[in-house]
């Protein structure tokens, strides 16, 4: 059982204070003695021993090396659904509570930012918007280079029919697409959606979008065998977690025309503690010389509205937890 701490004794480290509004900061400061800093790994290694609670997002990876130094730490707070940036095994060993958005279904249904970004990436791919923008910035104005594709009457294949998969499916319907979905667990689809096997989805889709959580069963879920089952050279979008795709297989698919293009908001190594992890990424290297891969830096969930909502929600969750263990 985790040792109790009274609120007036709590020392809190807010490691990404730039994402918190003045209102949110005031709410945190009602809980205890708060240090607000844009912390990097070196700062955490030097200072983590002084705090009972740490508030993080995904900028820093909280691994065993850090947790071994966190002698007073009782709670890690992260306003994210994924927790792959935290060593959960080590946290459990040290009896550190993780407070996140995972499982907060009712609250999460009020957030649409990731689904909207997914659709934005798809439109950029289909209409070559990012390429056309760079073309104009370079001083040119030739629309004949940027023939795109319409979405109406195309087949949208949605893998994962949870909150985000459902939202994206509704967007597809609004654009006049035929929407087919695959979910490991049996689901009841709404009007206009068709539940199919994974093989059928891979063979029929003009667009494949991935909305599955990362766990031990989904690591490299989308592998070379699945890419080879794609029959229509679809566009591919992933805004879930980078690790659910075999990145070597994706490069093969891009180079060999198994997919027309891909848009990714997540990469497998983004939780690496290496400062130059991005430049070591094979997908990043591929994107430097090829125009069929669009990358964004894990911004799908980052809007002014969604960040404020999640910050206030997770602060309230921390308050409730501390009151419970008092």
Residue 64 annotated in active site: no
Catalytic option among 241, 255, 308, 321: 241
Residue 201 near residue 180 (C-beta atoms within 8 A): yes
Catalytic option among 85, 117, 211, 298: 298
Residue 152 annotated in active site: no
Question: Distance between CA atoms of 224 and 244, rounded to whole angstroms?
Answer: 12
Question: Distance between CA atoms of 188 and 191, rounded to whole angstroms?
Answer: 10
Q: What is the 3-state secondary structure (H, E, C) of the chain?
A: CCCCCCHHHCEEEECEHHHCCHHHHHHHHCCCEEEECECCHHHHHHHHHHCCEEECCCCCCECHHHHHHCCCCCEEECCCCCCCCECHHHHHHCCCEEECCCCCHHHHCCCCHHHHHHHHHHHHHHHCHHHHHHHHHCCCCCHHHCCCCCCCCCEEEEECCCHHHHHHHHHHHHCCCEEEEECCCCCCCCCCEEECCHHHHHHHCCEEEECCCCCCCCCCCECHHHHHCCCCCCEEEECCCHHHECHHHHHHHHHCCCCCEEEECCCCCCCCCCCCHHHHCHHHHHHCCCCCEEECCCCCCCCHHHHHHHHHHHHHHHHHHHHHHC
Neighbours of 298 (CB within 10 A): 19
Residue 216 annotated in active site: no
Active centre residues (catalytic):
241, 270, 298
């Amino acid at each position: 059982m985790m040792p109790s701490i009274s609120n007036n004794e709590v020392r809190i480290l807010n490691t990404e204070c730039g994402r918190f509004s003045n209102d949110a900061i005031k709410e945190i400061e009602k809980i205890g003695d708060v240090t607000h800093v844009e912390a990097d790994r070196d700062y955490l290694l030097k200072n983590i021993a002084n705090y009972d609670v740490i508030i993080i997002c995904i900028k820093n990876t909280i691994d065993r090396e850090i947790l071994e130094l966190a002698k007073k730490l009782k709670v890690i707070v992260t306003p994210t659904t994924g927790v792959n940036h935290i060593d959960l095994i080590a946290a459990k060993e040290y009896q550190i509570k993780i407070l996140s958005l995972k499982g907060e279904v009712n609250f999460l249904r009020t957030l649409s930012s990731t689904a909207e970004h997914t659709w934005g990436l798809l439109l950029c791919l289909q209409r070559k918007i990012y390429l056309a923008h760079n073309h104009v910035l370079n001083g040119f104005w030739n629309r004949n280079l940027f023939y795109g594709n319409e979405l109406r009457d195309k087949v949208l294949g949605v893998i994962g029919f949870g909150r985000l998969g459902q939202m994206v499916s509704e967007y597809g319907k609004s654009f006049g697409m035929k929407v087919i979905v695959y979910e490991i667990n049996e689901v009841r689809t709404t009007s206009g959606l068709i539940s199919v096997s994974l093989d059928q989805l891979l063979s029929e889709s003009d667009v494949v979008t991935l909305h599955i959580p990362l766990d031990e069963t989904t690591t490299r879920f989308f592998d070379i065998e699945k890419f080879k089952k794609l029959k229509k050279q679809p566009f591919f979008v992933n805004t879930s977690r980078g690790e659910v795709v075999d990145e070597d297989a994706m490069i093969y698919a891009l180079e060999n025309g198994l997919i027309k293009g891909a848009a990714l908001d997540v990469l497998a190594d983004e939780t690496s503690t290496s400062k130059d992890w991005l430049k070591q990424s094979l997908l990043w290297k591929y994107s430097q010389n090829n125009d069929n891969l669009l990358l964004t830096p894990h911004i799908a969930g980052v809007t002014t509205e969604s960040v404020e909502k999640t910050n206030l929600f997770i602060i309230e969750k921390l308050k409730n937890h501390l009151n419970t263990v008092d």
